[in-house]
Structure 1
Amino acid sequence: MSYPPDSGNVRSQALPVAHFVLIAAVACVIYAGTFQAPFVFDDRTSIVENGVVHSLDGFLHEGAGYRNHPRRVLGYLTFALNYQVGGLHPVGYHAVNLLIHIIAAILVYTLCRIIFREPSMRESRLGGHAPLIALSASLLFVAHPVQTEAVAYITQRLTSMATMLYLLSLVLWAKWGLLQDAARQTAVPRWVYAAVSFSVASAAMLTKEISVTLPLAGLLYSALFLSVPWRVRLLRLLPLLLGVLIPVVGWHLSGPSADSVEEMLDQARGGTAVSRWEYLVTQPRVLVTYLRLLVFPVAQNLDYDYPLYHSPLALPVFCSLVFLLSLVFLALWLVRRAKAGRIDSAFLFIPFGIGWFFLTLLVESTVIPLDDVIAEHRLYLPSAGAAMAVAVSAGLLVARVGAKVVVAGSIAAVLLLGTATWRRNEVWQSPLALWSDAAAKSPAKARPRYNLGTVLTGLGRYDEAIGEFREALKRKPEYPEAWHNLGTAFAAKGETDEAIASYRQALRLAPDLPQAHNSLGTALMQKGETEEAGGHFIQAVRSAPMYPDARNNLGAFYGMEGKTDAAIAELEEAVRLQPDNPRFRFNLSEAYEQKGWGARAAEERQKGERLRNGS
């Protein structure tokens, strides 16, 4: 059965719209409970405490946005736009994340439809069912619980947004190829699709580095679904190739932040102590875990305590390698049979899904050792290909088990996955629930205990927090952030000497840790040791110039020292970095009073009052 070309009638145009509405509705129902979820984990440093995203000036005029986040500047720009609209209210951030997820699912649908329009696929008996297969793929993608980390975790917008742009670039590129092959006039010139695909590929690269594999995705698509000569196929990859290369060249030329590929790799490592060899050897086992999560998504965890392996001959690694190689051989066997016409061409979706899974994990599952050897958000992009492969496989079962069984099974799968996602999202609604869950599932790991202690401190449960920090330090004694937060809990209890001792230990382990310098300065001020306190505030600002709390404290210190002009400069910068903080406004008002600027002082005091009263 061949796939009928679009006729342009009302029914053919209405069908995708109805499907898109269903996709969006399912996503909204599943993720409705996340809208009030607070900032968690890296959200604090990436958004709440990141002065760069508290103003659009750094992105539009000053260039601070690019200097601080050159390889993810577009993602951070969206955080800045969110901040301009709603400040630090999480609901707006979650709404954008959900919108991105819906668009990504619609693009999975669109890519699946485009593949069925390729000349090599038109003889497939599934062609007439392409809309339903595409709908199944997109619903599997949008409802799968493994997506929760990329959607509910605000900072992982970088992953979901890069995936959305990745898919959009590939869809436009594939559409351009179809129009080239058809050689007919279109309402939009054919070259526009190539140009926009190129631009979107560059945008994807400026959102997250996983987009560097986009030309490989185009090559995989070309190898499996195109029938034109290879010279033509390779030339058609130019928009994708140039789209990802131009930002890389820009990073290299932009200055010290990207002087070399080696430096880029070191920055990507995030300071982890895991060697490249250990990371690489562990990844086959990780890839099998990823596949298990796609098929059987249970025991999900924000912070896995995953074992490291040192030899490919270790039994778990060796067995994983055998399994992964069997998938590769299965893919090659299906390609050979489908190309020879022995099986339906729709079987090519299975090697496409397998190849897509491997190539989209190349950046994060090979030789660049990241902080975490495994993370669920890394499955967001790979799951797009997996969803299409599973949906087509279900379609191929129709001839054997009947359409009713397949449809019922597909509906049941989406309902089960959606329910699991709803339940998983309940954990994301509270930092206490999230980190209690992680600590229970990774009892021997220090970081979940550290984060649970941080949450308990924020809830005023200081004794419990101190207990969690001590548990974290038992597991990892050289953990400067845990020492710092232990000091914070002591300070909140009024045990200033214990807090100072903890802060000093944090600085012995990490001499440039800005939070520790800032907190130690605050504690020393309470003890009356102002001179040393001022030195720590200065060091905090030197280590983190965009750290608003440190700017505020340094300004207050200068005010106490009678250095009014210096105080005003620091406090104005603090207000610029975090304009909705009433405490900063009141301190700036006092500095203006010291300067004799009564009108300015009154204006800042009024702004502070309005912020404090929530008006």
Structure 2
Amino acid sequence: MSKNISYYRKHVIPILFITVIVSLVYANSLKGSFQFDDSQILLRTNLHLSELTLDSLIGSLYFTPDRENLYRPVPCLTLALNYYFGKDDTFGYHMVNIVIHILCSIAVYIFLLKLLLIPGMRPAIAGRYHHQIACMAAFLFALHPIQTNVATYIIQRMTSLAALFYLISFIGYIQFRMGTLRGQRNQTVKKTYASLFICLLSGLLAVLSKENAAILPVLVISADFLLFYPLLDPAAKKTTRKIYFIILLLLSCALAYVGPKYIYQWIEVYQTRDFTLFERLLTESRIIFFYIYLLLIPNVDLLNLNHDFSISTGLISPPQTLISIVGIILLVGLAFRYRCKKNLISFAIVWYLGNLVIESTFIPLELIFEHRTYLP
């Protein structure tokens, strides 16, 4: 009985607290109007469900009614269902967004609990205070002002759904990997491989929610190398290196297959932008540290849907560009330097930079959006 009470206090209470506080904080957004790209919901007729038939539901998964290209089918299906039940009344759309944000906050809590209890985690103090750290991080994630963009901007449920499935995938991966470690097999084989299935399925759903989740396999390999590889015996390390090679080879082949198509598209898009590829890469180096500033010092006066961010035209134009590039190099060097002694710090750096790679490097997207910090 006392064990159940302890479990309740330790885990259920923080989850209930997150649910209640987030609901109260975002309650005033429930009647907010459609903003910016939210107009897609009204303009894309294939999202206008009039009946809950299989054919109609399948039709909502595509970008256009002609059903030629799938487009973020998981969030699009939820938007179509919102339209079926509420038409252009934004209350239901915002309600779903808030629920997804709550689920993401809970996923952050569970993810950190699992992560910090991995054997050999350094600094060791992180493992000793894993529950306190997980609670604090989940509360910060749930209530940080920078999350307002994703939680209240309807179309950005694409970002929050991708993050939710991404985190669930990582939780499944950690649970699976823990089940494969010698001396740590406190779960059945069935549970271990059920965790692997959850990892793979959730990873697929993350990519089907938003393309930036495609970096997940690389982050999983990085996490495995930093957190689990050092725990293995020599024979297991040799096998693991082969698995790394096979996965990276498959990813490289997939990239080589689909890459040329997108490269030609990106070249065309850059013709319509007011910045070049080189200028974008230079500017993004500054934006990466601007995101860190917003995360550490949540000045609401700096938060905005559209930021007027100056373009870097050279290494010292403005001078902060070179400083930022050096800063990124130092972060990467720090991650490499502490990969053994402080592997949690290394993983944190890889997590932040890695999850910004797709949206903050070569692809000719808008330069800056706060929602890109949601997962990192």
TM-score bin (small chain): 0.7 to 0.9
Which of 211, 216, 222 is equivalent to 2:224?
A: 222
Cα deviation, 1:194-217, whole Å, max 9, x if unaligned, reads: 122111111111111110110121
1:234 CA displacement: 5.2
Which of 318, 324, 328 is equivalent to 1:320?
A: 324
1:261 CA displacement: 3.2
Are positions 1:378 and 2:375 aligned together?
no
Q: Secondary structure at the match of 2:288?
A: helix
Aligned mates of 2:170, 2:276 — CA distance in 1: 34
Contact 1:218 1:237 in 2 (8 A): no
1:239 CA displacement: 12
1:68 CA displacement: 6.2
Which of 323, 326, 330 is equivalent to 2:334?
A: 330
Query: What is the aligned partner in structure 1 of residue 263 from structure 2?
Result: 262
1:266 CA displacement: 5.8
Aligned mates of 1:333, 1:244 — CA distance in 2: 26
Aligned mates of 1:260, 1:313 — CA distance in 2: 34
Contact 1:71 1:205 in 2 (8 A): no
Flag the 1:363–1:144 CA change in 2: closer, same or farther, 3 A.
Answer: same
Query: What is the aligned partner in structure 2 of residue 138 from structure 1?
Result: 138
Aligned mates of 2:163, 2:218 — CA distance in 1: 14
Aligned mates of 2:348, 2:240 — CA distance in 1: 20
Contact 1:222 1:233 in 2 (8 A): no
Aligned mates of 2:226, 2:68 — CA distance in 1: 40
Aligned mates of 1:329, 1:10 — CA distance in 2: 45
Aligned mates of 1:191, 1:101 — CA distance in 2: 28
Are positions 1:60 and 2:57 aligned together?
yes
Cα deviation, 1:2-45, whole Å, max 9, x if unaligned, reads: xxxxx99314531211111111122112211111111111101x
1:259 CA displacement: 8.7
Contact 1:214 1:244 in 2 (8 A): no
Query: What is the aligned partner in structure 1 of residue 108 from structure 2?
Result: 108
Query: What is the aligned partner in structure 1 of residue 213 from structure 2?
Result: 211
Structure 2 letter corresponding to 1:49: L
Q: Secondary structure at the match of 1:38?
A: coil
Query: What is the aligned partner in structure 2 of residue 150 from structure 1?
Result: 150
Flag the 1:276–1:154 CA change in 2: closer, same or farther, 3 A.
Answer: same
Aligned mates of 1:205, 1:357 — CA distance in 2: 18
Any residues of structure 2 matched to 1:429-448 within 5 Å, and which?
A: none
Query: What is the aligned partner in structure 1 of residue 35 from structure 2?
Result: 40
1:264 CA displacement: 5.7
1:289 CA displacement: 0.8
Which of 310, 315, 318 is equivalent to 2:313?
A: 310
Any residues of structure 2 matched to 1:362-511 within 5 Å, and which?
A: 362-370=357-365, 372-382=366-376
Q: Secondary structure at the match of 2:120?
A: helix
Q: Secondary structure at the match of 1:310?
A: coil
Cα deviation, 1:119-172, whole Å, max 9, x if unaligned, reads: 213992443421111101111111111111111100011111101111111110
Q: Secondary structure at the match of 2:26?
A: helix
Cα deviation, 1:223-278, whole Å, max 9, x if unaligned, reads: 221122444545777999899999x79x96xxxxx992335646887953432122
Query: What is the aligned partner in structure 2 of residue 161 from structure 1?
Result: 161
Q: Secondary structure at the match of 1:367?
A: coil
Cα deviation, 1:548-603, whole Å, max 9, x if unaligned, reads: xxxxxxxxxxxxxxxxxxxxxxxxxxxxxxxxxxxxxxxxxxxxxxxxxxxxxxxx
Query: What is the aligned partner in structure 1 of residue 13 from structure 2?
Result: 18
Flag the 1:60–1:268 CA change in 2: closer, same or farther, 3 A.
Answer: farther
1:282 CA displacement: 1.1
Flag the 1:152–1:290 CA change in 2: closer, same or farther, 3 A.
Answer: same
Structure 2 letter corresponding to 1:310: T
Q: Secondary structure at the match of 1:305?
A: coil
Structure 2 letter corresponding to 1:324: I
Structure 2 letter corresponding to 1:278: E
Aligned mates of 2:21, 2:97 — CA distance in 1: 15
Greater CA drift, 280-289 or 235-244: 235-244
Q: Secondary structure at the match of 2:339?
A: helix
Flag the 1:25–1:201 CA change in 2: closer, same or farther, 3 A.
Answer: same
Contact 2:79 2:93 in 1 (8 A): yes
Greater CA drift, 227-236 or 176-185: 227-236
Q: Give me the CA root mean square deviation.
A: 3.2
Aligned mates of 2:168, 2:248 — CA distance in 1: 15
Structure 2 letter corresponding to 1:38: S
Contact 2:105 2:138 in 1 (8 A): yes
Instruction: Report sequence identity in percent.
Output: 28
Contact 1:109 1:137 in 2 (8 A): yes
Aligned mates of 1:64, 1:179 — CA distance in 2: 36
1:84 CA displacement: 1.6
Any residues of structure 2 matched to 1:1-12 within 5 Å, and which?
A: 9-12=3-6
Flag the 1:86–1:162 CA change in 2: closer, same or farther, 3 A.
Answer: same
Query: What is the aligned partner in structure 2 of residue 385 from structure 1?
Result: none
1:308 CA displacement: 1.2
Query: What is the aligned partner in structure 1 of residue 297 from structure 2?
Result: 296
Contact 2:226 2:339 in 1 (8 A): yes
Aligned mates of 2:192, 2:175 — CA distance in 1: 9
More helix as a share of residues: 1
Higher RCO (CA < 8 A, seq sep 6+): 2
Flag the 1:225–1:148 CA change in 2: closer, same or farther, 3 A.
Answer: same
Contact 1:195 1:239 in 2 (8 A): no
Aligned mates of 1:61, 1:126 — CA distance in 2: 45
Q: Secondary structure at the match of 1:294?
A: helix
Aligned mates of 1:236, 1:88 — CA distance in 2: 49
Aligned mates of 2:146, 2:271 — CA distance in 1: 24
Query: What is the aligned partner in structure 2 of residue 284 from structure 1?
Result: 285
Contact 1:213 1:359 in 2 (8 A): yes
Q: How many residues align?
A: 358
Contact 1:214 1:240 in 2 (8 A): no
Q: TM-score, normalised by structure 2?
A: 0.85
Structure 1 letter corresponding to 2:208: L
Flag the 1:187–1:118 CA change in 2: closer, same or farther, 3 A.
Answer: same
Unaligned runs of 5+ in 1: 1-6, 253-257, 339-346, 383-615
Contact 1:198 1:243 in 2 (8 A): no
Q: TM-score, normalised by structure 1?
A: 0.53
Unaligned runs of 5+ in 2: none
Aligned mates of 1:161, 1:242 — CA distance in 2: 28
Structure 2 letter corresponding to 1:82: N
Contact 1:27 1:142 in 2 (8 A): yes
Q: Secondary structure at the match of 2:314?
A: coil
Structure 1 letter corresponding to 2:57: L
Cα deviation, 1:407-449, whole Å, max 9, x if unaligned, reads: xxxxxxxxxxxxxxxxxxxxxxxxxxxxxxxxxxxxxxxxxxx
Flag the 1:24–1:363 CA change in 2: closer, same or farther, 3 A.
Answer: same
